[in-house]
Amino acid sequence: MKTGKLCLIFVLFFSPVVLGYEVYQPGYQIESFATVQNASGVTQMTFDDSGNLYTLHGGAGAIFKVAEANKAVTQLASGFNNGGLNSLKDLVWTGGTDYGDYLYANVRVSNFGAKIIRVDTNQPSVTDFVQLGTSVLNSSAPRYLAIDRTGNYGNKLHFGTTVHDRLFTVDSLANVSVFSQWPSPTGSGSPIGASFDLFGNFNNTMFVTSSFKDYPGLSGLFELSQAGVATRVTTQIGRAGNVEVDPYGTMFDGDLFVYGNDSFSSTNYGVWRIDSQGEIVKFGQSSSNFTFGPDGALYVAERVNSTNYISRITPIPEPVTASLLVLGSVMISRRNNKFSR
The helix (H) or strand (E) run that includes residue 33 is: strand 28-37
Average pLDDT over residues 315-332: 62
Rounded-to-integer distance, Cα 340 and Cα 100, Å: 58
Tell me if 1 is assigned to some domain: no
The dihedral over CA atoms of 184, 185, 190, 193, expressed in degrees to the nearest 10, equals -70
- CB of 196 within 8 A of CB of 204? yes
pLDDT tens track for 9-60: 333 333 344 446 899 999 999 999 999 987 788 989 999 999 999 999 988 8
- Residue 131 — very low, low, confident or very high, per pLDDT cuts 50/70/90? confident
- The CATH number that applies at residue 239 is 2.130.10.10
Average pLDDT over residues 118-141: 77
Rounded-to-integer distance, Cα 51 and Cα 181, Å: 36
CB count within 10 Å of CB 334 equals 9
Tell me if 15 is assigned to some domain: yes
pLDDT of 275 strictly over 80: yes
- CB of 218 within 8 A of CB of 240? no
Tell me if 49 is assigned to some domain: yes
Tell me if 3 is assigned to some domain: no
- Please say whether the dihedral angle defined by the alpha carbons of residues 42, 43, 47 and 52, taken in this order, is positive or negative: negative
Rounded-to-integer distance, Cα 322 and Cα 15, Å: 12
pLDDT tens track for 64-76: 999 999 999 999 9
Rounded-to-integer distance, Cα 246 and Cα 198, Å: 8
Range of the domain at 158: 8-339
The structural domain count of the chain equals 1
pLDDT tens track for 304-319: 888 999 999 999 987 7
pLDDT of 224 strictly over 80: yes
pLDDT of residue 330: 53
Q: What is the DSSP letter of 205?
A: -
